[in-house]
Amino acid sequence: MSHALVFVLAPESLLPVDGATARDLMGAQRFGLRSGVALRIFRVPGEWEGQVDDLVGQGKAAAAGLDPFSEGTEPGTPPQAGSGPGERRRQICDALVPHFEPRSHWLGVYQLDGDQSAMVDHPLNNLPEATLRCLDRFPLRDAENETCWFYPTEDGRYLGWENQRRIETLPGFLPEKPFQDDAINYERGAVHVLWSLMADDLALTCVGLTFRGRRIEWPVIRAQPEPFATWTGFQVDSGAESTYQENASITVFAD
């Protein structure tokens, strides 16, 4: 017998209790994470002295979010190295950050027990043979808080691309080790909410959750992008009064 943890973010009234099915958990999760932002960050080549407006005018900084300094790069591919020997990878971030709402979301934690031989990828794919037990239900605002830094910390010039999206996700799970043979020792205090400053935001933004220091992943099953995106040029200067310095920002629309 193997065991797995499954996490659901939803309004309190929709969180299932003991005896829930996979369909119950998936249905509740539909009312949890419903929007997010796709974010890509690129290093600016050291020899480039232009501006964001130049890249937009040349059609290189478009709504699709391709690397403006590389021809033919497809979004979603692994970060590409530059052409020069030893040049650092240019794309350093390609993420979809759901909009977490700790003030309104509740978190449900469920234990799944099932036959190890049948277990693949997401734990809920093993039902209906497996059984679910509710371990905890609580307001996300009551979870332990932890800060992190989401944007680059290394000095230099960067370009950021953002595209807002409507999303639908599966319930959360621990991708590094979805299943374990030992009984799960669950404690509410092991759930941490990660907060970070996003660019030049004045307030911290919730960027994710962890359990015992391990990232909880919420697989996206549907994503509908808005027909526009924003390109921002910024630099990081650890010696300045404000580490993050925005140089220019422009919104572009899809063709």
Angle at 115 between CA 111 and CA 116, to 5 degrees: 95
Residue 68 burial by CB count (10 A; 0-12/13-18/19+): exposed, middle or buried? buried
Q: What's the pTM value of the predicted model, to 2 decimals?
A: 0.87
Angle at 76 between CA 70 and CA 80, to 5 degrees: 40
Query: What separation in angstroms does the CA of 182 have from each of 3, 32, 148?
Result: 7, 30, 30
Nearest residue to 223 (alpha-carbon basis) of 150, 160, 142, 168: 168
Determine contact, residues 41/152, Cβ cutoff 8 Å.
yes
Strand-pairing partners, residue 81, are 89
Q: Dump strand ranges (E) for the chain.
A: 2-10, 35-43, 91-98, 106-114, 131-139, 144-147, 156-169, 191-196, 205-211, 214-215, 220-225, 228-236, 244-253
Using 70 as the pLDDT threshold, list the residues of the chain that sit under it.
71-88, 115-120, 126-130
The continuous run of DSSP H or E covering 22 comes out as helix 22-29
Backbone angles phi, psi at 237, to 5 degrees: -135, 100
Backbone angles phi, psi at 80, to 5 degrees: -100, 140
Q: State residue 77's pLDDT score.
A: 44
Q: State residue 86's pLDDT score.
A: 37
* Torsion on CA atoms 38, 59, 156, 201, rounded to nearest 10: -40
How far is 112 from 125, CA to CA, in rounded Å?
11
Nearest residue to 246 (alpha-carbon basis) of 38, 52, 86, 82: 52
Q: State residue 88's pLDDT score.
A: 59
How far is 69 from 45, CA to CA, in rounded Å?
8
Q: State residue 128's pLDDT score.
A: 54
Q: State residue 2's pLDDT score.
A: 83
Q: Where are the alpha helices (DSSP H) in 46-96?
A: 52-57
